[in-house]
């Protein structure tokens, strides 16, 4: 089902375009100088939650393709997509924490296809120094987060899927625990700790500015954090609970300035594509192939706590490049 588009003024959209206008920092990955049939520079935009596994993927990829110089640029998935759609930034590969970001913001103008490749789940991360760390669990977390002397952070829903998934998780918690008004109380508290992407909150946790934050389980695991495992009715992990997840919705900025998308809860699924403006499509195809191979990129993803979904259904199967069709299924 396509998302409902509602035209209205959106301050959040204007704000996001402003911050995207600021030049982004990129991180060059190590490349060797040995000859290869695939060479040149490859720009990879990716979700912040893919930073750790993609760093490993790039390193392994360069062993096979030493003449490719890979540049990786991390941001919230929606921010990454808008760099392509609104700022016309050149991008060879885009890995999104939510495959629907590709569907709603980039298809069909900026790419034709999308392959779903990994899963994840929402948790609440903390350290042993967090207030009430010895008491928090999957039953009382919402009450502890609401305590006056406890601070928590979350990502911006208009920039990062983890942000709107936090809103959806909060609304599902209200339903699951049977506490009317719970979501409004959670989302109205500690708004000063909202950041563009979920990984920006790691520094706040490390210095004790916040005690907890909503994050993906893989990120908590990769950074050695403690976490609260949430019930399946809330954590967006279980495909069998899709009907429960879609009971919660959130409005976020849409494809065009001033429009809004109504986003429904859904199981957490990552997506990858090659944009139409890719400057090195040959290397991009090699990189996505490497990423999706079970014993290569997907083995790295799984070691980092992001289970493989390859192959899975793709509504864009007919438009997927021939060499990549084996990583998807036709509906």
* Per-residue pLDDT, 80: 97
- Name the maximum alpha-carbon separation found in the chain: 63
Decide which of 222, 251, 280 is a domain's last residue. Answer: 251
52 and 21 together in one domain: yes
Q: Is 192 exposed, middle or buried (0-12, 13-18, 19+ CB in 10 A)?
A: exposed
189 and 306 together in one domain: no
Number of domains present in the structure of the chain: 2
226 within a domain of the structure (yes/no): yes
Decide which of 188, 218, 251 is a domain's last residue. Answer: 251
130 and 106 together in one domain: no
Question: What digits encode the pLDDT tens for the residues 22-73?
Answer: 344 444 444 333 445 899 999 999 999 999 999 999 999 999 999 999 999 9
106 within a domain of the structure (yes/no): yes
Q: Is 330 exposed, middle or buried (0-12, 13-18, 19+ CB in 10 A)?
A: exposed
State the Cα torsion 203-208-209-210 to the nearest 10°.
90
Question: What digits encode the pLDDT tens for the residues 111-143?
Answer: 999 999 999 999 999 999 999 999 999 999 999
105 and 133 together in one domain: no
133 within a domain of the structure (yes/no): yes
Give me the count of residues in the chain.
Answer: 331
Q: How far apart are CA 126 and CA 162, in angstroms?
A: 16
259 within a domain of the structure (yes/no): no
Query: Tell me, what CATH number does 317's domain have?
Result: 3.40.190.10
258 within a domain of the structure (yes/no): no
* Per-residue pLDDT, 92: 98
Residues in Cβ contact with 312 at an 8 Å cutoff, skipping those fewer than 6 apart: 116, 117, 269, 328, 329
Say how many Å lie between the first and final Cα of the chain, rounded.
Answer: 14
148 and 58 together in one domain: no
140 and 243 together in one domain: yes
185 and 235 together in one domain: yes
Q: Is the distance from CB of 210 to CB of 153 less than 8 angstroms?
A: yes
Spell out the per-residue pLDDT of the chain, length 331, in tens: 444 444 444 434 433 434 344 344 444 444 333 445 899 999 999 999 999 999 999 999 999 999 999 999 999 999 999 999 999 999 999 999 999 999 999 999 999 999 999 999 999 999 999 999 999 999 999 999 999 999 999 999 999 999 999 999 999 999 999 999 999 999 999 999 999 988 889 999 999 999 999 999 999 999 999 999 999 999 999 999 999 999 999 999 988 888 999 999 999 999 999 999 999 999 999 999 999 999 999 999 999 999 999 999 999 999 999 999 999 999 9
198 and 133 together in one domain: yes
102 and 182 together in one domain: no
131 and 180 together in one domain: yes
* Per-residue pLDDT, 37: 83
Decide which of 192, 226, 251 is a domain's last residue. Answer: 251
30 within a domain of the structure (yes/no): yes
82 and 30 together in one domain: yes
271 within a domain of the structure (yes/no): yes
pTM for the model: 0.85
State the residue range of the domain holding 202: 122-251
69 within a domain of the structure (yes/no): yes
Q: How far apart are CA 254 and CA 57, in angstroms?
A: 31
């Amino acid at each position: 089902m396509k998302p409902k588009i509602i035209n209205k003024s959106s301050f959040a959209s204007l704000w996001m375009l402003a911050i995207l206008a600021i030049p982004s920092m990129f991180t060059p990955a190590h490349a060797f100088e040995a000859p290869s049939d695939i060479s040149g520079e490859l720009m990879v935009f990716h979700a912040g939650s893919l930073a750790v596994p993609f760093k490993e993927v790039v390193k392994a990829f360069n062993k096979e393709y030493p003449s490719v110089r890979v540049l990786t640029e991390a941001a919230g998935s929606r921010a990454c997509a808008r760099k392509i759609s609104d700022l016309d930034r050149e991008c060879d590969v885009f890995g999104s924490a939510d495959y629907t970001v590709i569907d709603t913001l980039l298809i069909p103008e900026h790419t034709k296809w999308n392959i779903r490749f990994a899963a994840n789940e929402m948790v609440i991360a903390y350290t042993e120094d967090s207030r009430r760390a010895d008491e928090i669990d999957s039953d009382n977390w919402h009450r502890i987060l609401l305590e006056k002397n406890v601070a928590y952070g979350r990502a911006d829903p208009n920039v990062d899927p983890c942000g709107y998934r936090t809103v959806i998780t909060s609304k599902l918690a209200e339903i699951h625990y049977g506490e009317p008004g719970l979501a409004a109380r959670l989302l109205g508290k500690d708004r000063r700790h909202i950041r563009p992407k979920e990984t920006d909150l790691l520094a706040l946790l490390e210095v004790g500015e916040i005690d907890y934050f909503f994050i993906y389980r893989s990120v908590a695991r990769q950074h050695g954090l403690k976490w609260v495992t949430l019930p399946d009715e809330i954590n967006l992990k279980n495909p069998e609970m899709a009907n429960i997840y879609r009971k919660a919705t959130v409005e976020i900025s849409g494809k065009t300035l001033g429009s809004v998308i109504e986003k429904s809860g859904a199981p957490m699924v990552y997506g990858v594509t090659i944009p139409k403006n890719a400057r090195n499509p040959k290397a991009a195809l090699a990189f996505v192939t490497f990423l999706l191979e079970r014993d290569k990129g997907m083995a790295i993803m799984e070691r980092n706590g992001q289970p493989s979904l390859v192959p899975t259904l793709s509504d864009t199967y007919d438009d997927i490049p021939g060499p990549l069709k084996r990583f998807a299924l036709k509906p």
